[in-house]
Amino acid sequence: MEAVSEFMGLVESGNALPQVRTIQGPSADPVAVVDGRQVLVFCSSNYLGLSTHPEVKRAVADAVMEYGVGANGSRLISGTTDLHVDLERTTARMKETEAAIAFPTGFMANTGTITALAYLPYFARMAGLPLKSGAPEMVVISDALNHASIVEGIDAARGKHAYYEHCDLDSLSAKLEENHGKRLLIVTDGIFSMDGDIAPLPGILELAAHHDATVLLDDAHATGVLGATGQGTLEHFGLKGDVLQMGTYSKSFGALGGFVATDEATAEYLRLAARSYMFSGAMPPCLAAGILKAMEIAEREPQRRVRVLRHRDYVAFGLEDAGFETLGDGTPIIPVVIGDDDTAALISQELFERGLLAPCVRWPAVARGHSRIRITVMASHERDHLDRLIEALTDAGKRFGVL
């Protein structure tokens, strides 16, 4: 472990160690106590403000009394309850697919799905069920800025892969041409978590159809937010298509877990071949109950989605008027470009001292020299909360020479 100690010493001396703050109480409310200080939270993914909703908490508490704390088994042994089945049916209905499969986390949904799809011909031979179609080797083609769970899934698949330049359809087309004749899986985030921009999905689906490629869409940050009813990126663009839609229950629905919404055959295949599903303890039933209630509230109260997007515009336009460069395509994620790693850390610290929790994102989450203050807004924020953020960030930007 000497090498680990040496490396961590270098990280600490270079002031590159991420600062982790301790939150006393719920971290999903607009106001929280952090390291003993009351602050406004601008880094939660609880976009619709449902994590601490009284009905959601009551649903979880009632389920704990009936089902206990955990599932105490994998989904294929003793971990599937009627709540898990209801959750998957409700998710499929929301995404307008034949079926859905729920994973304990979104990270596990991506890694398990990518590896299972890439492993198909080997899995079939191992099971003594060789495919008549042959199923040539799969090549995974991924956006260069996709989430770490996708990168991990690609690495775990131990197969051929390629990365295309971020949201660049010409680059994607070239990678597809280079791998003509292979089974092709295109993987893209819907909303990119560090930049807040939206994938050019119409062009991606057009290229996929031309090259007979499958598309896996990571809709973690889009589900519940984008589209006329919150279905996500497909609905945002007015699209329908045979797309594997991955998503999470830890963003708009305020809990924990991931899913893949797809056709019935693919969902059942993933139950057999996705190791992160088969060999993990199941999501606690009480969480499934809370998610179901959160999905019900999100459907009946569409104003939550409208409110969070209005908050986004108010903050983004206010910061741009002050002179900041912001990234994003109208999503609840508003990265404020700072650049210098140390300056971003100092600005984040000053915001905290003024009662605002808005951490800086720097290496290893983004490349060195590309640090930013990554703001996320929630439907539960009030207008005066947003004004305090704009004012404090503007003051800090002037003080540290960013503006």
Half-sphere exposure of residue 114: CA atoms within 13 angstroms, side-chain side: 32
Whether 221 sits among the annotated catalytic residues: the reply is: yes
Neighbours of 232 (CB within 10 A): 27
The two tokens of residue 69 are 């704390």
Q: Quick check: helix, strand or coil at residue 275?
A: helix
**Active-site residue (options: 53, 175, 236, 251):** 251
Buried b (16+ CB within 10 A) or exposed e, 235-249: bbbeeeeebbbbbbb
Task: Describe the strand order of the beta sheet including 183-189 as a list of residue ranges.
Answer: 99-103, 258-262, 244-248, 214-218, 183-189, 138-143, 160-164
Q: What is the DSSP string of 169-226?
A: HHHHHHHHHHTTTSEEEEEEESB-TTT--B--HHHHHHHHHHTT-EEEEE-TTTTTTS
How many CB atoms within 10 Å of residue 324? 20
Which of 221, 236, 370, 381 does the annotation list as catalytic?
221
Catalytic residue among 45, 193, 348, 380: 193
Q: Is 251 marked active-site?
A: yes
Residues 6+ apart with CB under 8 A from 217: 188, 189, 190, 199, 201, 232, 233, 234, 243, 244, 245, 246
Q: What phi, psi does 14 have (nearest 5°)?
A: -85, 5
Specify the amino acid at residue 156: A
Among residues 358, 397, 402, the alpha carbon closest in space to that of 377 is found at 358
Query: What are the residue numbers of the active site?
Result: 193, 221, 251
